[in-house]
Amino acid sequence: AFKERVFSGVQPTGNLHLGNYLGAITKFVALQDNYDCIYCVVDMHAITVWQEPRELAHATREVTAAFIACGIDPKKHIVFNQSQVAEHAELAWVFNCVARLGWLNRMTQFKEKAGKDRENVSVGLYAYPNLMAADILVYRATHVPVGEDQKQHLELARDIAQKFNNDYGASIQNHGYGDMFFPQPEPIIQGPATRVMSLRDGAKKMSKSDASDYSRINLTDDADAIAQKIRKAKTDPEPLPSEEKGLEPRPEADNLVGIYAALSDKTKAQVLGEFGGGQFSTFKSALVDLAVAKLGPIGAEMKKLVQDPVYIDSVLAEGSDRARVIAADTMKAVKDIVGF
Ligand code: ADP
Ligand code: NA
């Protein structure tokens, strides 16, 4: 049996937002009691699209600050940045040789991110899911909390683990590693708002890279900015429905109710029990109060932490040292198994 271990990551690409918070970081926090957790700032993923070096370094510290401000304990669990543990890249190369081209061709996120300019995106953007599989499997992690947008990538990681175990099955046994070397990592995707949508367009996910700042609530937004963005959030003219199925054809309403539910630890049905039949203006005021109460202290703490780069860097250095011990152990075995 594999030790139950959680791995997940966030890219340091600026503008950490409510989607990252509800879809990822709050889940990371909740898992700390029951698992050994490894939370990674995935700076190598970030450079699959161009990053200004100084902004990248700042964003790496900012994500680290967000982890800590949201309640991740870097003494108990491992917090580090990907580029400091070379084994991620080493295992990713092996996985480049395990994964099939056809598998990567099916990845919808690549299609979205590459857009029409497919000939001119980096090879890294295409191979990104293989590196993500290496991130997880270099720690032989069993559980991965992610937003729904990452589900397909996690399935690919499972396929890679399985193909490695099959292709090298005899060698795994000969070297005394049992029947299976890599576990099949399980996604942890649960609760409302695992996919937070843009405040301007209910068909697009809330994203760091959206050109409109009004599309997202950033974790460092102050109370005024949060209030303005929620008041301007797109809605429709109907009052709120009193039952959940009334949200189905109304993506913007569904999104705001989902956000309220997630921030208050309620179900959407409970939120509609309270606000159903009422006007959006009333609901939005309550959502502003809730969002400011939840996010205000986090943003303030992040700003404080970012002003102490020596402390942040010491957290990352210590986390990297601890991560490297586990990753090196895996890579030593992988080298035996592959025949290096
Ligand atoms: P982004 O997609 O904004 O570039 P990342 O790729 O760094 O952010 O994602 C970090 C984590 O946040 C992932 O686990 C991802 O699933 C989650 N996440 C990102 N955007 C959203 C969203 N709009 N709703 C829910 N979760 C999200
Ligand atoms: Na993403």
Report ipTM (2 d.p.).
Answer: 0.94
C-alpha–C-alpha distance, residues 21 and 30, integer Å: 12
Residue 291 is assigned to a structural domain of this protein: yes
Residue to mutate, 8, 13, 16, 20, ligand 1, most ligand atoms under 8 Å from C-beta: 20
> Is residue 2 scored above 80 in pLDDT?
no
> Is residue 61 scored above 90 in pLDDT?
yes
C-alpha–C-alpha distance, residues 225 and 233, integer Å: 12
pTM attached to this predicted model: 0.94
**Residue-number span of the structural domain to which 268 is assigned:** 213-304
Residues 69 and 123 both lie in one domain:
yes
Please tell me the predicted confidence (pLDDT) of residue 289: 98
Q: What's the CATH code of the domain at 265?
A: 1.10.240.10
- Taking the centre of ligand 1 as the mean of its atom positions, its distance from the CA of residue 1, in whole angstroms, is 30
Express each pLDDT in 284-316 by its tens digit.
Answer: 999 999 999 999 999 999 999 999 999 999 999
Express each pLDDT in 11-44 by its tens digit.
Answer: 999 889 999 999 899 999 999 999 999 999 999 9
Residues 6+ apart with CB under 8 A from 125: 48, 49, 110, 113, 114
Residue 201 is assigned to a structural domain of this protein: no
Residues 147 and 263 both lie in one domain:
no
Q: Is 207 in the pocket of ligand 1 (CB under 6 A)?
A: yes
> Is residue 1 scored above 70 in pLDDT?
no
Residues 299 and 330 both lie in one domain:
no
Residue 232 is assigned to a structural domain of this protein: yes
Number of domains in the chain: 2
Express each pLDDT in 64-92 by its tens digit.
Answer: 999 999 999 999 999 999 999 999 999 99
Residues 293 and 331 both lie in one domain:
no
How many Cα atoms are found within 13 Å in the side-chain-facing hemisphere of 283?
27
Is 199:228 a contact under the CB 8 Å cutoff?
no
Residue 203 is assigned to a structural domain of this protein: no
DSSP letter at 240 equals P
Residues 172 and 321 both lie in one domain:
yes
Residue 204 is assigned to a structural domain of this protein: no
DSSP letter at 22 equals I
In 15-87, beta strands by DSSP E: 36-41, 78-81
Q: With CA atoms as reference, report the closest residue to 182 among 155, 163, 207, 202.
A: 163
| % of the chain surpassing 70 pLDDT | 99
Residues 31 and 94 both lie in one domain:
yes
